[in-house]
Chains A and B, each alone.
Chain A
Amino acid sequence: MNTNKTHSELAEQFNRDTKRVDWHDETLWFVRVKRDRAANQIPEWEQLREAASQIKNNVLSNLHDYLLEFERQALLNGIHVHWATDAKEHNEIVHSIIQQHGINHIVKSKSMLTEECGLNEYLHDQGIEVIDTDLGERIVQLANEPPSHIVLPCIHWKKEEISELFHQHLGTPKGNADPKFLTDAARAHLREHFLTSRLAITGVNFAIAETGEFVVCTNEGNADLGVQLADVHIACMGIEKIIPQRKHLGVFLRLLARSATGQPITTYSSHFKKPRAGQEMHIVLVDNGRSKRLASDDFRNALKCIRCGACFNTCPVYRRSGGHSYHTAVAGPIGSILAPGFDMEKNADLPFASTLCGSCSHVCPVKIDIHQQLFNWRQVLVKNGHVNTTKKIGIGAASFILSRPWLYKISGSLVRLFMRAVPSLINNRLNPWYTHREMPKAAPKSFNSWYQTNRKNG
């Protein structure tokens, strides 16, 4: 992942291929449209969002007790419970379980938490072969890149490109880009891995404090197939994924798939409560900055996220810049308010990769105030010095001028005079505005001046 370039630079590169940007934008916009259709079939949709939001607010205010209750119930169910303060510890715990069983080939279903912790890279360095079994994830894994979307990992790949990738890695015939053919090829290829792997890692969509069970949602059935053929199941979970009671799934499972892809429910919503006879089940509860974020009134709400991806699909900037422009595990709007919390320096550009249009906040099934947090992060970043000098000087000057009416009027007149007299000094390639736009025309007189002439004495 290109960690040295900013979102702006990466987005500019992305936009050089206009046809491709249009394709990426239209594909994701259609997912937004499907979400709208699904949501509009539920007259009580907005009440569901409000209920989900309030349940999550309650969870965040009682996370300590809910986690203890979950642990208690899970242990009674025969699940091994582990706690990891950070990504490193999570990776070490997962690795030690794998090592204990003398395993070096495992299957993994989608888990953004494991992406966040860099688990695949860590395990690879320890000599463990990790096979991502979600089709989209397997595609990007073969291509040695990170996913670009948390629900649609290879949305940035065209089928011809996938065909070529499969030809190279799976030996499929060159040039066959039929999605059914390619999916069947992946099915056969991954089935071998399912049948020969003794350990499966999954993510967790929801964990229920009341019953000590957890839910994993997929369309492909890869999480289930992997787990049911394995001797060991490790589920990896961010501590914020807890919900209080089983019946609350009646709210969240109605919102999740509709928000993500516009379907009423995923094909499989599996509630894992106890290990199979003879199987070991583990769950790793991961903090990695979440307890710290919990303390912040401004940024706590980001912990309500159920990772549906709706904010990605509606974001006009994400659709036209692609997930890799965000240079972080979770991209898009939610990623832009999470990433600076992990590394302010590296991710200082992300909260500015937005026009603050607010669309994200209003498709969010749990009502996270994403656009508000983007604004708040901008203040934090500037206060911590993560702003370029040009901007700092420019804004400082603007603030000085705009708080002094006399100076504002003079500057205004001078700038307009300048624009009219020497347009070429502004209308050139050094001016970013000018790359695709003409400059606005400078009016000969300001409104203030007009008013004083035409109205003040009238």
Chain B
Amino acid sequence: MKVGLFIPCYIDQLYPQVAIATLELLEKQGLKVSYPLNQTCCGQPMANSGFEHLTHDCNKNFIQNFDGLDYIVCPSGSCTLHVKEHLHDKSDETKAEKIRNRVFELVEFLTDVVGVKNLDASFPHKVGLHQSCHGLRGLHLAQMSELVAAPYSKPEQLLKMVKGLELISLDRKDECCGFGGIFSVFEEAVSAKMGQDRIADHIKHEAEYMTGVDMSCLMHMEGILKRQKSDLKVIHIAEILNSNLT
């Protein structure tokens, strides 16, 4: 099967190690992964700011890059959800629809499509899982606390396969971190407070690392942690799942 890598713009520019870990992790599953070189952005920052009408060219570029693949895998719940719900092209809606149906966030791709049963990974640390909102409530990566329904969690399923990893529990297991894209700048006070509160929860439960499926959430909280000069570190789930036995 032809698998293409969709790397969010901010990971491409600021956290390339997450993309490298994603690529290596997929290759370890025996997959042949391509990386369309002219991809840029999914368009979410514009759309969420109210400028969805300016995303046509961005969408077109996305479709051009990812047309013809069986699966498109992305280490971001937020970007994946955006493409799934908002990728349209009036001039070729069939292509857009195909892509919408074939784009997957990394964790759900590994659990649902690849059916990973074990990982050759080791990460002997106490880890707190931050459940990014779009992946959780949009992609249903895990059961959200709002619903009266049976619990499940795809990220936890994979993290349990990592040797030595201890998953800590939290007081508020799926409260938003406050990043929210432009919200982090235009509603700075509330954004920072929300991030500080998430961090306090992880620290209270003695997490050494905070992980999640979205580097944007982690980037926001990392900024706060660095300002607080905290020992708590952030790490994308791809990097944990890809960490080798040393």
Which A residues are closer than 8 A to B by beta carbons?
7-8, 11-12, 14-15, 18, 21, 25, 29, 36, 39-40, 42-43, 45-46, 314, 316-317, 320-321, 352-359, 361-363, 375, 378-383, 387, 391, 395-396, 398-399, 402-405, 408, 412, 415-416, 432-433, 435-443, 445-448, 450-452, 455-456
Contact = CB atoms under 8 A, between A and B. Distances in A.
A447 B12 contact: yes
A11 B190 contact: yes
B197 to A, nearest CB: 7
Contacts of A433: 184-185, 188, 223
Interface string B159-201: 0000000000000101110111111111111111111110000
B15 A395 contact: no
Given A15-B190, A42-B148, A443-B16, A382 B49 contact: yes
A7 B191 CA distance: 13
A316 B192 contact: no
A456 B38 CA distance: 13
Contact of A403 (B58, B145, B196): B58
What 9 A-B pairs come out closest when comparing CB atoms?
A355-B180, A437-B223, A403-B57, A382-B50, A378-B50, A436-B192, A362-B146, A447-B16, A357-B176
Contacts of A357: 133, 137, 176, 180
Given A357-B137, A405-B40, A395 B190 contact: no
Contacts of B11: 447
Interface in B57-78: 57-58, 60-61
B188 A435 contact: yes
A403 B39 CA distance: 9
B190 A321 contact: yes
A395 B187 contact: no
A320 B133 CA distance: 18
Interface string B21-47: 001000000000001011111010111
B49 A442 contact: no
B190 A320 contact: yes
Contacts of A378: 48-50
Nearest to B188: A432
Given A437-B220, A441-B14, A455-B35, A355 B183 contact: yes
A353 B48 CA distance: 12
Contact of B48 (A375, A381, A405): A375
B3 interface: no
A416 B13 CA distance: 8
Nearest to B215: A440
A439 B226 CA distance: 9
A450 B50 CA distance: 33
A97 to B, nearest CB: 42
B232 interface: no
Interface size range of chain B in the complex: 35 or more
A452 B55 CA distance: 27
Contact of B13 (A15, A317, A395, A443): A443
Given A46-B149, A435-B188, 9 more contacts: A317-B190, A352-B50, A355-B176, A357-B133, A363-B146, A399-B51, A403-B61, A408-B40, A433-B188
B52 interface: yes
Contacts of A42: 148
Contacts of B188: 8, 12, 432-433, 435-436
A358 B133 contact: yes
B148 A40 contact: yes
B117 interface: no
A91 B51 CA distance: 39
Which one of B7, B48, B53, B146 has the highest number of Cβ atoms from chain A below 10 Å of its Cβ? B146
B19 interface: yes
29 contacts: A15-B189, A36-B145, A36-B146, A40-B148, A43-B148, A316-B175, A353-B187, A355-B191, A356-B133, A356-B134, A357-B133, A358-B137, A359-B175, A381-B50, A391-B49, A396-B54, A399-B57, A402-B41, A405-B37, A405-B61, A432-B185, A432-B186, A438-B223, A440-B14, A443-B14, A447-B16, A448-B12, A448-B37, A451-B19
